[in-house]
Amino acid sequence: MAITRVLKFRMLFAGLMLASLVTSSDAGKPAIPAQKAIDGLPVVPLFELLKAEQIDARLVHKNESSGNLFVDNKFQKSINVQMPEAFVGVHVLNQGFFDNQNQNNQNQNSQSGGQSQGGQTTGGGASNSSQNGPAIFSVPPGKVVRIPVKTVCLEHGRPTPASRMEYRIFKVERFSKDPALFELLTAVANEKHSQKVAQAAAWYMASDKSWKQLAAMRFRRSGGLPDRPEFTQSQLVSARKLAGNLQMLAEAKSRSKNSSPVAETVVARREVLAR
């Protein structure tokens, strides 16, 4: 009798384990690296596909400076996706922020309660594959691809992003209409500056922190070790120069915005979205 009960228990345990494995497999498809773009297939910007609910995109941070964007193809056919030059990542607990049509720096009013409202909004993107513009890749039908991204934090005072936090991506202009910030996040995506320099510039632009406040920030160390400055003087000098250069770049682009219009394959994109 005892042996019979043991055998029944083992069979029941094995069945529960198998059910658990099937559920886990169904709940999350394994991600694969982004695939090479398919010749002859229309290329559609990522945010257009998100709006049409043809793909799903989920941002998972490793830390404040890097992570992965997981793009899930809902199509029954392969699709070529064009990454934006930059995006913002928003913790799902903070997405009501956009409902009020707030713009840059207005989010500072809620920072005192940031600990309960979720992690910092981040910004950045994926490195361009060429000098011709944002990266283009394909996603097989029903598959999920993994896109490595680089980011900086945009809301000083809120919790640092972590892998356990669920993030979604939005266009940069939903968070801020400052063109200089867009240029910064594009530079972050392409790793044109050190993370610390880019982070200081980001908090200056997006969190309304003065250079004096940035110089006074301290990184608290455990074990009774003395706090150390968040940024070195050299990093702040470089960040200040970077912020000024990006402002001039944004102004120059604004003046020449209509001088070289870019043709778009609107018809081709509509065909993909209508599938």
Q: What is the pTM of this model?
A: 0.76
Degrees (nearest 5) of the Cα angle 249, 254, 257? 120
Q: What is the mean pLDDT of residues 81-100?
A: 82
Mean pLDDT, residues 255-271: 51
pLDDT, position 57: 97
* 217 in Cβ contact with 230 (< 8 Å): yes
| 9: confidence class by pLDDT, cuts 50, 70, 90 | very low
Q: Provide the pLDDT for residue 12.
A: 40
List the domain boundaries for the chain. 30-259
50-89 residue pLDDT tens: 999 999 999 999 999 999 999 999 989 999 999 999 999 9
For range 148-159, the mean pLDDT: 95
Count H helices, E strands: the chain? 9, 12
C-alpha 40: how far from chain center = 29
The amino acid at 209? K
Q: Reply yes or no on whether the pLDDT at 129 is more than 70.
A: no
Residues 6+ apart with CB under 8 A from 159: 114, 115, 118, 119, 120, 165
Higher-confidence residue: 157 or 13?
157
3-state secondary structure 75-104: CCCCEEEECCCCEEEEEHHHHHHHHHCCCC
